[in-house]
Structure 1
Amino acid sequence: MTNIQFIQAQVNTLSENIEATIKLLSEDCTIPFISRYRKDQTGNLDEVQIENIAKLSKQFAEIEKRKESILKTIEEQVQLSPELKARIQKSFDLQEIEDLYLPYKKKKKTRADVARENGLEPLAKLILYQRNDDVDSLATQYINQNVGNEDEALQGARDIVAEWINENLAVRQSLRRLYTRKSIIEVKVVKKKAEQEAAQKFSQYFDWAEPLAKTPSHRLLAMLRAENEGFVKVKIDIELEETYDLIDEIIIKNSNSPSISHVQLAIEDSYKRLLHPAISNETLQEAKTKADAKAIEVFAGNLGQLLLAPPLGEKRILAIDPGFRSGCKIVCLDEKGDLLYNETIYPHQPKNETSMAMKKIKSMVNAYNIEAISIGNGTASRETEFFIKKIPFDKPVQVFVVSEAGASVYSASKIARDEFPNYDVTVRGSVSIGRRLSDPLAELVKIDAKSIGVGQYQHDVDQTKLKEELDTVVVRCVNSVGININTASKSLLSYVSGIGDKTAENIVAYRSEIGSFEDRKQLKKVPRLGDKAYQQAAAFIRIKDGKNPLDNSAVHPEAYTVVEKMAKELKISVNDLIANKEKIALIQPENYVTETIGILGIKDILKELVKPGLDPRKAAKVFEFDPNVKTIKDVITGMILPGIVNNITAFGCFVDIGVKESGLVHISQLKAGFVSDVNEVVKLHQHVQVKVVEVDEDRKRIQLTMVL
């Protein structure tokens, strides 16, 4: 099987599309570039499809490498038969390949190894072959200085048979299928830890059992976390009789053989000592892998929504990191997010300097021409929001409450220290709260995604896979929006197609030296930014008010001559063609196809010319919580409240209703009727109406419904 055939078996697209995609990837083309500017070669595959092809291509290479290693090892043992070699080469199932390798795998000395050394393998073969040999009598022949009697000889022979049964490919595959369908996950509490306060959040699993196949991913991850923290023991079990019947069907060939009792003892021993521990562990790990994949998918989906949250845009913002005793940290930012001024006010208890704080805020709004106020949603958020809304400003000022998740992580990071070396963490945190209102994408890329607070068991899943997926999401979001090269931070630039950390650093240094970029061609003057990087990156950067109007669009520089030809044939300038719907409608796409740009590429160019540099994100909207609900004590069953979706999981969504504790809307309460995917109904930051179903003050839990 070739790489292309392997991928095509798992991806629903033509082989030529896969081949073209792999070729482009091998030429160091990035996924955003391929999906946006090489549609004609790939058959219009989107980013997700291309990402999948890239993953499968990598997986194919890893399987081939593993097979090569296994074949070499078995060959060195002079045990590689043509049949075994063919079976390994033909298989692309890693588990099957490992099963074929199992008898030749180096391992600690086993009971079967000792029995072989004692000359008992011929006796083991007599037992396994199940002929009419009286093995009990024949066992006498195998007594020697290491085998004291017939029972020891038979026991040693059964040890060898047990190992053969364990290494039997059909047995292992059949058991795996059975475990996948019918195994039970059982959880038992560690009694000496049951009363600990930290254990109580897992109390529902203290005596728990359910079919593993029906266990939701979030529940499995919760059980495994409880086990990792030492509060419970988790095991996989299955009905014994069915497993023995399954093995008997494969191993027993002659139920009337005199050796049948020894075969059955070997089966029982093999299952309990070798097969069950291995297969149950494999089954749990497979379930964990699937649960990880689901959790990573949820986290990645949430992160994507969060990064593409509506930006307020280039506005002058006053940002507040609210607090009681420590005060509210205030910063004023200009349109580019640069820090103009900072101060601390104390409008709340215990100081209650409300009047003075109002005067200071009003003065700052006027002095720095503030257009919007961004308030973090942590401690004292609601009180600060009410305080701000009482101030009689001289002009309209929009007030927003934003998530401050991860702001403290950013404020203590090297990125923040480099940006604001002369300010402490409180000022940096407030800056982050302000900037994430003006452009969430540009600010949140500076923070470790796991700290943003929109994941599900993100610290329990495979961290390598999580990082890969989250990085992929960030790259996808950054390149779908495009970045202003004259204002973008090093962090944001590093995610642009073809750039990376070092080149991003060089761009920032070059920008500091020469000032603003005036056209995309200047990118070529940046140290270590070669032709390939320019090809991959150029169309994803934007230059506002530059020399060439196309530099502020998603039209790739390789297509500039095509646009110039269009404008020339319409007898207008490129500048007059941009956003001119009437003129653009006159263009026949097929007339402009070139060797490098096909019909799909030309159609994309025309769409871009209609709305050049269009930001795919929606505009930010002001939201107001119920003014009568400030703490969980104010939340009463039956209330209908406005809320904002602030996290999405596989089992429902969490909604901020203006108190410290977010309420849960279970997936069954999202709407009338069955819901298979939470994202079908809600998105992050969506404004929703919810009804309070239950309030548990002691456990600080609020149950909500959207079925009103």
Structure 2
Amino acid sequence: MISYIISKTKLPESSVKNTVNLLNQDCTIPFISRYRKEATGNLDEVQIGDIVKYKEQFEALEKRKTAILKALEEQDVLTSELKAKVNACQDSTTLEDLYLPYKKSRKTKAETARKNGLESLAKIIMSQNANDIESIALKYVKNDVETPENALEGARHIIAEWINERSDIRNNLRNQLERHAMIATKVVKAKKDDENAQKFRDYFEWEEALSRIPSHRLLAILRAENEGFIRVKIQIDTERALDRIDNKIIKSQNACADQIELAISDAYKRLLFPSLSNEALQKAKDKADEAAISIFAKNLKQLLLGSPLGEKRVLAIDPGFRSGCKVVCLDEKGDLKHNETIYPHPPKSDQTGAMKKISFLTEAHQIEAIAIGNGTASRETEALIRRIRFKNDIQVFVVSEAGASIYSASKIARDEFPNYDVTVRGSVSIGRRLQDPLAELVKIDAKSIGVGQYQHDVDQNKLKKELDVVVENCVNSVGVNINTASHSLLSYVSGIGPKLAENIVNYRSENGAFTNRNTIKKVPRLGDKAFEQGVGFLRIKDGENPLDDSAVHPESYAIVKKMAKDEGVSLSELIGNKTILKKINLKHYCTESVGLLTLEDIVKELEKPGLDIREQAKVFTFNQNIKTITDLRAGQLLPGIVNNITAFGCFVDVGIKESGLIHVSNLSDSFVKDVNEHVHLHQQIVVKVLEVDVPRKRIQLKLHKL
């Protein structure tokens, strides 16, 4: 396993060995990357995640080998040579090719021919020594074999199967597909004018090298095929492929060679090409999935680590026209204090009443910020709010609503607000997202948040696994206040999980706030392992021990106390005192298990204990003269917010219903390898309008360098 992981990751052997040992001890990725740096050689969570991935791959391969060896043994065909070949396999493709001749498949043409006694005729043909093959075939005419041609056809079916099972032939064809395969599409004529098909019209007739097709294009093509609008074909030069197989098998110029040539053609069209072209397409799809999932994961991380406003009193508005704007008031902790509906927009257009109501609520609840959802009627509501003259300085934010409707109808929302309808829950979610995006967004299924591309078309198990890791890493990198965190947030803490999260919340409800980290051990079913893995990521504000509100692990408290004692100060005086901390000689505190890497981490944390790694939320204002797509003109410079990142560019909200696209070619004057190197999600930027296509509702933008 270790050598397999090293071959894939190119990481040092000691780092891989120690990481695998820690994983085998049920340690989590956040815990290992944060608190076991000496053991791993300072690997980050991405590198440890790779080790986890290849460890699981290796274990799955070994499990499959065991199953195959057992099946071969049961068939009594397992030779020592075959066993050695199976054990030596390092990838699943080679393994399945080895097993192919022994697979118990459904009734095949070759199997029927064998039952008719035609295998010996197939062997004679393959020897390529017989000349009068028709006369020989005559001897096999009996029972179901009615003519010599039937006999030869049956023998060819057996030969075709042998050809299909040859790993050298399969690998040669794989190689051709890898290098030369084209993906071609054709529109289904009956669906050509379908309204839903129009978004795929670029692919009504398309051809491109499979090896070079970008992930987003392949996923779009496969979606169009799944929805029945186009047909997809994989193509290579058939003549060249057949010649390559001929050269490997045919060694004579007699009648046997003619029969083998027919068998080769049959094997290629019926067995080899359908199977291996599907395999090539699946490989391309897996690669596209990987690229799309990677983009989604990067976007999700940026979104989850988005700027929080912090513990401020917020008035949140879910805007709407006919149904009105749902208004809620939240306290610093995000608890709902008041809700009602205002109707400033048509058909009621009660702007005066709405402004009076908002003004009254901001004073009554000492509101410090207003959060407005960015959906329908957002701009109109924002314009209304900006007309109100508040007595205090109140910041106004436009907040992404993506996934809020999913949350508001979820079990989590029903449990939180059993006495309120979905509109109230949706408004609360908008307000809480401003206070702390991470704490609120973890309640929503990550793929419903709407950042990424084709998330519903990729492998859903791989997507969920990857996104869960991202959420876990984000939650643990920020840390969680155990006395205020929701069940959803706590469930992502290293070593905790949903059941223990529930137990923590129940214990908190029954016994009140946790006063120090040791009391966490009193939570039912929270054992030593869960405590070790999770406690460093759980924070206790204003607790008995100031270290409990830091990322310093309790296993290192003794070291920090010794540092304070050696410097002649109390623990409280040491924490946050950069002057003292900078002059400490860390080498004095090194032990067998704690090295400089961990000690440097501890000092960094002591300098800024409990500091949130995220930037604070900033107010942003769109161009108030741009209200619809028809207000846009080529050449305009506009403020915008990046609201999605894909492989081909990024989408920008310029304050209207439609987002504009900055294509990769318009992000920079030089080559763009990764969109994330130029922009990040929710970044406030200035864009130049290049082109506006009103009928297709498409806006082309360019990143404007200030």
- TM-score tier by shorter-chain length is over 0.9
**2:190 paired residue among 189, 192, 204:** 192
Deviation at 1:540, TM superposition (A): 0.2
Is contact 2:480-2:537 (8 Å) kept? yes
Is contact 1:217-1:291 (8 Å) kept? yes
The within-5 A match list for 1:363-512 is 363-512=360-509
Cα distance in 2 for partners of 1:147, 1:464 equals 49
Residue in structure 2 matched with residue 31 of structure 1 by the alignment: 29
Cα distance in 2 for partners of 1:176, 1:251 equals 18
State the SS of the aligned residue for 1:664.
Answer: strand
Task: State the Cα deviation string for residues 74-105 of structure 1 (Å, max 9, x = none).
Answer: 11111112221111110111011101111110
The within-5 A match list for 1:353-368 is 353-368=350-365
- Correspondence 1:563 to 2:560: yes
Cα distance in 1 for partners of 2:130, 2:648 equals 59
**2:626 paired residue among 626, 629, 646:** 629
Deviation at 1:257, TM superposition (A): 4.2
Deviation at 1:132, TM superposition (A): 5.2
Deviation at 1:707, TM superposition (A): 5.2
Q: Which runs of 5+ in 1 are unaligned?
A: none
Cα distance in 2 for partners of 1:24, 1:212 equals 41
**1:663 paired residue among 660, 664, 678:** 660
Deviation at 1:350, TM superposition (A): 1.4
Q: Which runs of 5+ in 2 are unaligned?
A: none
- Correspondence 1:4 to 2:2: yes
**Which residue identity is paired with 2:515?**
E
Is contact 2:215-2:292 (8 Å) kept? yes
- Correspondence 1:311 to 2:308: yes
Deviation at 1:340, TM superposition (A): 1.1
The within-5 A match list for 1:57-76 is 57-76=55-74
Task: State the Cα deviation string for residues 617-675 of structure 1 (Å, max 9, x = none).
Answer: 11111111111001111111221111000000111100000000101111111111110
Q: Number of aligned residue pairs: give it.
A: 705
Cα RMSD for the two superposed structures: 1.1
Residue in structure 2 matched with residue 590 of structure 1 by the alignment: 587
Cα distance in 1 for partners of 2:584, 2:121 equals 86
Residue in structure 2 matched with residue 270 of structure 1 by the alignment: 267
Residue in structure 2 matched with residue 16 of structure 1 by the alignment: 14
Is contact 1:123-1:135 (8 Å) kept? no
Residue in structure 1 matched with residue 288 of structure 2 by the alignment: 291
Task: State the Cα deviation string for residues 270-294 of structure 1 (Å, max 9, x = none).
Answer: 1011111101111111111111111
Cα distance in 2 for partners of 1:63, 1:382 equals 55
Cα distance in 2 for partners of 1:69, 1:419 equals 47
**Which residue identity is paired with 2:210?**
L
Task: State the Cα deviation string for residues 429-452 of structure 1 (Å, max 9, x = none).
Answer: 100000000100000000111111
**1:347 paired residue among 318, 337, 344:** 344
Structure 1 segments, 4+ long, off by >6 Å, are none
**Which residue identity is paired with 2:309?**
L
Cα distance in 2 for partners of 1:396, 1:109 equals 79
Task: State the Cα deviation string for residues 322-352 of structure 1 (Å, max 9, x = none).
Answer: 1111111111111111111111111111111
**Which residue identity is paired with 2:340?**
E
Is contact 2:324-2:341 (8 Å) kept? yes
Task: State the Cα deviation string for residues 661-700 of structure 1 (Å, max 9, x = none).
Answer: 1011111111111101111111000111111112122221
Residue in structure 2 matched with residue 239 of structure 1 by the alignment: 237
Cα distance in 1 for partners of 2:666, 2:137 equals 69
Deviation at 1:597, TM superposition (A): 1.8
**Which residue identity is paired with 2:84?**
A
Residue in structure 1 matched with residue 43 of structure 2 by the alignment: 45
Residue in structure 1 matched with residue 574 of structure 2 by the alignment: 577
Residue in structure 2 matched with residue 172 of structure 1 by the alignment: 170
Residue in structure 2 matched with residue 114 of structure 1 by the alignment: 112
Identity %: 63
Task: State the Cα deviation string for residues 535-568 of structure 1 (Å, max 9, x = none).
Answer: 1111101111111000010000000000000000
Residue in structure 1 matched with residue 669 of structure 2 by the alignment: 672
Is contact 1:126-1:133 (8 Å) kept? no
**Which residue identity is paired with 1:389?**
R
**1:96 paired residue among 94, 97, 117:** 94
**1:217 paired residue among 210, 215, 218:** 215
Is contact 2:185-2:206 (8 Å) kept? yes
| TM-score for both structures, normalised by structure 1 | 0.98
Is contact 2:686-2:704 (8 Å) kept? no
Is contact 1:672-1:707 (8 Å) kept? no
Deviation at 1:594, TM superposition (A): 2.4
Is contact 1:170-1:250 (8 Å) kept? no
